Chain A
Amino acid sequence: MVPVLELRGITKRFPGVLANDHINLTVEKGEIHALLGENGAGKTTLMNILYGLYHPDEGEIYVNGNKMAVRSPIDAIKAGVGMVHQHFMLVPVFTVTENVMLGEEFVKFGGILDRTRAAEKVMQISDTYNLDIDPNTYIKDMPVGLQQRVEIIKLLFREANILIMDEPTAVLTPQEVQELFKIMRTLIDQGKSIIFITHKLVEVMECADRITVIRGGKVVGSTTPKEATLNELATMMVGRDVKLNVEKTKKKPGDVVLEVDNLKVLDPRGAIAVDGISFNVREGEVLGVAGVQGNGQTELVRSLSGLLPSIDGEVRLLGHDITHSSPRQIIEHGSAHIPEDRQRDGLVLSFPVSDNLVLNTYYLQPFSRSIWLSQQEILKNGEGLVKNFDIRTPSVFTPASSLSGGNQQKVIVAREFSRPIKLLIASQPTRGLDVGSIEYIHKRMLQKRDEGCAVLLVSTELDEVMQLSDRIAVLYRGKLMDIVDAKSATKEMLGLLMAGIIPGEDVKSAQVPQKNKILIT
Chain B
Amino acid sequence: MSPEKPEQIKKSGIAIFWDEFSRSNLTVIILAILTGIILGGVLVAATTTEVYAAFKVSLWGGLKLAFTTAWNTYVALFTGSVGNPEKIRLAFESGDPLMIRRAINPFFESLVQTTPYIFAGLAVALGFRVGLFNIGAEGQIFIGAITGVWAGYAIHGLPPIIHIPVALLFGALGGAIWGFVPGFLKAKTGAHEVITTIMMNYIAFRLSDWLLKGPMGDPTEYTPKTPWILESAQLPKLFDLPIRFHIGFFVALLMAVLVYLLLFKTTWGLELRMVGSNPNAARYAGIKITMSTVIAMVLSGALAGLAGANEVLGVNHRLIPAFSSGYGFDSIALALLGKSHPFGVILSALLFGFLRNGARSMQLTVGVPIDIVSILQAMILAFIAAPAIIRTIYRLREPKHAEDIVSLQSWKG
Contact = CB atoms under 8 A, between A and B. Distances in A.
B286 A347 contact: no
Contact of B413 (A21, A42, A349): A42
Interface string A373-404: 10100000000000000000000000101101
Contacts of B60: none
Contact of A345 (B280, B398, B408): B280
Given A19-B2, A359-B274, A371 B408 contact: no
A42 B277 CA distance: 30
Interface in A67-82: none
B215 interface: no
A216 B285 contact: no
Most-contacted residue by chain A among B4, B281, B407, B412 (CB, 10 A)? B281
Contacts, number: 130
A511 to B, nearest CB: 34
A496 B227 CA distance: 83
A371 B266 contact: yes
A309 interface: no
Interface extent on A, as a size class?
35 or more
Given A350-B277, A372-B266, A401-B405, A359 B285 contact: yes
B410 A14 contact: yes
Contacts of B274: 348, 351, 359
Interface string A308-319: 000000000000
Interface in B186-241: none
B4 A327 contact: no
A305 B267 CA distance: 22
Interface in A1-39: 14-19, 21, 37-39
A360 interface: yes
A138 interface: no
Contacts of A359: 274, 281, 285
Contact of A44 (B7, B281, B404, B412): B412
A59 interface: no
Nearest to A344: B280
B279 to A, nearest CB: 10
Contacts of B267: 362-363, 368, 371-373
B413 A39 contact: yes
B156 interface: no
Contacts of A19: 2, 410-411
Nearest to B397: A15
B286 A331 contact: yes
Contacts of B288: 326
B401 A399 contact: yes
A123 B2 CA distance: 44
B1 interface: yes
Contact of B4 (A21, A307, A344, A345): A21
A225 interface: no
Contacts of B98: none
A41 interface: yes
A450 interface: no
A439 to B, nearest CB: 16
B322 interface: no
A288 interface: no
Interface string A30-58: 00000001111111110000000010000
B278 A217 contact: no
Interface in B257-294: 265-271, 273-274, 277-278, 280-288
A44 B411 CA distance: 8
Nearest to A53: B410
B26 interface: no
Interface string B1-19: 1111011000000000000
Interface in B354-413: 398, 401, 403-408, 410-413
A372 B261 CA distance: 9
Given A40-B411, A44-B412, A239 B3 contact: yes
Given A371-B268, A432-B412, A348 B281 contact: yes
Interface string A341-363: 00011111111000100011011
Given A15-B403, A17-B1, A371-B268, A45 B284 contact: no
B406 A345 contact: no
A337 interface: yes
A519 B284 CA distance: 37
A287 B347 CA distance: 57
A328 interface: yes
Given A14-B410, A16-B403, A373-B265, A327 B270 contact: no
Nearest to B275: A348
A54 B407 CA distance: 13
Contact of B270 (A21, A326, A344, A355): A355
Contacts of A37: 413
B268 A18 contact: no
B278 A348 contact: yes
Given A359-B274, A371-B266, A372-B266, A40 B284 contact: no
A355 B267 CA distance: 11
Contact of A17 (B265, B268, B407): B407
Contacts of B4: 17-18, 21, 216-217
A240 B377 CA distance: 59
A371 B6 CA distance: 43
Most-contacted residue by chain B among A216, A359, A404 (CB, 10 A)? A359
A45 B410 contact: yes
A305 B283 CA distance: 10
Interface in A251-284: none
Contacts of A401: 401, 404-405, 408
B169 to A, nearest CB: 21
Contacts of B284: 305, 307, 327, 337, 339, 345-346, 360
B401 A217 contact: no
A363 B288 CA distance: 13
A326 B413 contact: no
Nearest to A398: B404
A54 B406 CA distance: 12
Contacts of B283: 307, 327, 345
Contacts of A307: 283-284
A355 B408 CA distance: 20
A365 to B, nearest CB: 11
Contacts of A326: 286, 288
Most-contacted residue by chain A among B265, B398, B404, B411 (CB, 10 A)? B411
Nearest to B2: A216
A232 to B, nearest CB: 20
Contacts of A329: 286
Contacts of A350: 277-278
A327 B278 contact: no
A181 B282 CA distance: 43
Interface string A229-264: 000000000010000000000000000000000000
Interface in A483-508: none
A339 B3 CA distance: 27
- Which are the 6 A-B pairs with shortest beta-carbon distances? A328-B286, A360-B285, A40-B413, A404-B1, A327-B286, A15-B403
13 contacts: A41-B2, A54-B410, A216-B4, A217-B2, A344-B278, A351-B273, A351-B274, A351-B277, A360-B286, A362-B271, A372-B266, A402-B404, A405-B411
Given A14-B406, A327-B284, 11 more contacts: A14-B411, A15-B406, A39-B413, A40-B413, A41-B2, A44-B413, A331-B285, A345-B280, A345-B284, A346-B281, A348-B277
Interface of B: 1-4, 6-7, 265-271, 273-274, 277-278, 280-288, 398, 401, 403-408, 410-413
